[in-house]
């Protein structure tokens, strides 16, 4: 009966064919099998047939065990091993009777397919690069209006220190010193030119020509340059904080008015900060530092700075400070972005 059932279902391969039907995809294809495959199949059938006869003489239980053994060709079989084998077949040999050449063929086809895809994407990327210049970005609307950052900056916008304990502010000093190395007068004089203040430093000529940069000397920062007071006022409870506007290629403050910096108490008593000294005294970024031509050609560009010297701040209490940029075309009240045109930090100076 059992054999009849089988033969009815799989007339081409009369015996023990079904045990290998575990791969569904294969089933559809079997009937279309090549002749050589059929020959191979027959050979298998012969072996299988003999085994089957042996089995039939055995007890049912034994037969089952034997089945497992023969089916796996493994003396110690367990479900995990079988699963692994199925998995293995599924992954590496989905078409069971596929010869090695065919596996190779698939690999070759996929190789060419992906290679041509890679070629296509390379071509596309190449075209992309053709459309964008290396010196100037195509669009700058996302990076405008400029953002603002302060120095010293160490992961936090809270300046907590105790005047009498140098350990609490020493790292600010180090950070500022490090940052200002690039502004050393000698370096600036050597690398950059002293261009006339109060007007844009426009350099015409080809995009790819190297551009000159204007000097911004450390000494411009006077009391906050760290030259006279190497502790930047931290030792006296009058900290210097440097403010830098983010670089934007081609950015020019509108209508020739330089961008100014203005700080005040953000929340609370206005009198918590009684005086701030700005260096340069104009509290502005001079026009001569604009426009910026991008880092490819404007190699030595030095970002201008404005130093805020908080000379008289209420001690022993956190004072939120907001420093804003002021000028035409400057936006400093974007709700989501607290760093565009303004910066907020707190000073908590203990004595």
Partner 1 sequence: MGQKTPQIYSVELNGAKDMKQRDKGDDKDKYRGLRSTCLELRKNDHKERVTKEIDLDDHKLSNKELENKYHTNIVTGLSSTQAAELLARDGPNALSPPQETPEIIKFLKQMVGGFSILLWVGAILCWIAYGIQFSNDKSSSLDNVYLGTVLALVVILTGIFAYYQEAKSTNIMASFSKMIPQQALVIRDSEKKIIPAEQLVVGDIVEIKGGDQIPADIRLLFAQGCKVDNSSLTGESEPQPRSCEFTHDNPLETKNIGFYSTTCLEGTATGMVINTGDRTIIGHIASLASGVGNEKTPIATEIEHFVHIVAGVAISIGVLFFIIAVSMKYRVLDSIIFLIGIIVANVPEGLLATVTVTLSLTAKRMAKKNCLVKNLEAVETLGSTSIICSDKTGTLTQNRMTVAHLWFDNQIFMADTSEDHFKQTFDQSSGTWASLSKIITLCNRAEFRPGQERVPIMKRVVVGDASETALLKFSEVVLGDVMEIRKRNHKVAEIPFNSTNKFQLSIHKTDDPTDKRFLMVMKGAPEKVLEKCSTIMVNGQEQPLDQSTAEAFYTAYMELGGLGERVLGFCHLYLPADEFPETYSFDVDAMNFPMSNLCFVGLLSMIDPPRSTVPDAITKCRSAGIKVIMVTGDHPITAKAIAKSVGIISANSETVEDIAKRLNIAVEQVNKQDAKAVVVTGMELKDMSEDQLDEVLSSYPEIVFARTSPQQKLIIVEGCQRQDAVVAVTGDGVNDSPALKKADIGIAMGIAGSDAAKNAADMVLLDDNFASIVTGVEEGRLIFDNLKKTIAYTLTKNIAELCPFLIYIIVGVPLPLGTITILFIDLGTDIVPSIALAYEKAESDIMNRKPRHKKKDRLVNKPLAVYSYLHIGLMQSLGAFLVYFTVYAQEGFRPSTLINLRVEWEKDFVNNLEDSYGQEWTRYQRKYLEWTGYTAFFIGIMIQQIADLIIRKTRKNSIFQQGLFRNKVIWVGIASQIIIALILSYGLGSITALNFTMLRPQYWFVAVPHAILIWVYDEVRKLFIRLYPGSWWDKNMYY
Range 289-348, binding partner 1 (CB under 8 A): 292, 294-296, 298, 301, 334, 336-340
Closer residue to partner 1, CB minimum distance, 163 or 347: 347
Q: Dihedrals φ, ψ of 100, to 5°? A: -60, -35
Q: What is the 3-state secondary structure (H, E, C) of 259-314?
A: EEEEEEECCCCHHHEEEEEEECCCCEECHHHCCECCCCCCCCCCCCEEEEEEEEEC
Q: Which is nearer to partner 1, 80 or 205 (CB)?
A: 80
Given a contact cutoff of 8 angstroms between Cβ atoms, the answer to whether 234 and 169 are in contact is yes
Answer for which of 9, 171, 267, 328 binds partner 1 (CB under 8 A) is 9
**DSSP 3-state assignment of 298?**
coil
Map residue 299 onto helix, strand or coil. coil
**Please, which residue, 314 or 329, has the CB nearer to partner 1?**
329
Residues 235 to 254 in contact with partner 1, rule: CB under 8 A: 244, 246-249
Least distance CB 29 / partner 1 (angstroms):
5
C-alpha span between 231 and 238 (Å, rounded): 10
Residue 226 backbone class (left: φ over 0; alpha: ψ -120 to 50; beta: rest):
left
Q: Is 84 in the site for partner 1 (CB under 8 A)?
A: no
Q: Exposure pattern of 87-113 as b/e (b: 16+ CB <10 Å)?
A: eeeeeeeeeebbeeeeeeeeeeeeeee
Rounded to a whole number of angstroms, the minimum distance from the CB of residue 3 to partner 1 is 8
246 or 266: CB nearest partner 1 = 246
Peptide bond into 56 cis (omega under 30): no
Alpha-carbon distance of 172 to 158, in angstroms, equals 12
103 or 168: whose CB is closer to partner 1? 103
Of 11, 12, 14, 18, the one binding partner 1 (CB under 8 A) is 18
# chain residues binding partner 1, by CB under 8 A? 85
9: Cβ contacts below 8 Å, ≥ 6 apart: 18
Residue at token pair 């009498």 = 164
Contact between 200 and partner 1 (CB under 8 A)?
Answer: no
Cα distance between residue 1 and residue 6, in whole Å: 8
Binding region for partner 1 (CB under 8 A) out of 61-69, 168-176, 182-190, 269-277: 61-69
**Residue 214 found at the interface with partner 1 (CB under 8 A):** no
Tokens representing 252 are: 């020019």
Within 171-190, the residues that bind partner 1 by CB under 8 A are none
Output the smallest distance, CB 275 to partner 1, in A.
27
Contacts with partner 1 in 91-150 (CB under 8 A)?
A: 94, 102, 105-106, 110, 113-114, 117, 120-121, 124-125, 128-129, 131-132, 135-140, 142-143, 146-149
State the minimum distance, in angstroms, from the CB of residue 192 to partner 1: 16
Closest to partner 1 by CB, 123 vs 202, is 123
Does residue 43 belong to the site contacting partner 1 (CB under 8 A)? no
Whether residue 234 contacts residue 300, with contact meaning beta carbons closer than 8 Å, is answered with no
Among 37, 157, 162, 197, the residue binding partner 1 under the rule CB under 8 A is: 157
Please tell me the chain's helix, strand, coil percentages from 3-state DSSP, rounded to the nearest 5.
Answer: 40, 20, 40
Is the Cβ of residue 290 or residue 301 nearer to partner 1 in the bound state? 301
Nearer to partner 1 (CB atom), residue 94 or residue 178: 94
| Residues, the chain | 351
């Amino acid at each position: 009966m059992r054999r009849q059932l089988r033969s009815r279902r799989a007339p081409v391969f009369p015996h023990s064919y079904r045990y290998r039907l575990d791969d569904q995809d294969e089933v559809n294809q079997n009937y279309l099998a090549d002749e050589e495959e059929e020959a191979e199949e027959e050979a298998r059938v012969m072996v299988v047939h003999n085994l089957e006869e042996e089995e039939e003489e055995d007890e049912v239980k034994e037969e089952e065990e034997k089945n497992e053994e023969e089916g796996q060709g493994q003396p110690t079989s367990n479900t995990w091993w079988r699963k692994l084998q199925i998995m293995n077949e599924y992954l590496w040999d989905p078409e069971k009777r596929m010869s090695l050449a065919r596996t190779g063929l698939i690999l070759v086809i996929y190789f060419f397919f992906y290679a041509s895809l890679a070629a296509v994407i390379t071509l596309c990327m190449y075209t992309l690069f053709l459309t964008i210049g290396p010196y100037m970005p195509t669009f700058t609307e996302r990076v405008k209006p400029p953002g603002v950052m302060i120095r010293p900056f160490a992961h936090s916008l809270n300046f907590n220190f105790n005047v009498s304990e140098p350990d609490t502010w020493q790292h600010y000093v180090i950070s500022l010193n490090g940052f200002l190395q690039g502004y050393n007068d000698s370096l600036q004089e050597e690398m950059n030119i002293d261009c006339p203040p109060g007007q844009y430093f426009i350099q015409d000529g080809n995009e790819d020509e190297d551009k000159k940069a204007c000097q911004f000397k450390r000494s411009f920062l006077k009391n906050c340059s760290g030259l006279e007071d190497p502790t930047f006022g931290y030792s006296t409870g009058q900290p210097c904080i440097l403010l830098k506007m983010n670089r934007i290629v081609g950015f020019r403050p509108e209508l020739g008015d330089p961008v100014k910096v203005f700080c005040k108490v953000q929340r609370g008593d206005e009198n918590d900060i009684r005086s701030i000294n700005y260096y340069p005294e104009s509290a502005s970024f001079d026009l001569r530092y604009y426009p910026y031509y991008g880092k490819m050609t404007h190699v030595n560009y030095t970002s201008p700075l404005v130093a805020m010297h908080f000379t008289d701040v209420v001690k022993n209490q956190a004072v939120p400070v907001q420093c804003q940029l002021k000028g035409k075309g400057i936006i400093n009240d974007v709700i989501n972005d607290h760093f565009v045109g303004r910066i907020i930090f707190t000073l908590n100076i203990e004595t």
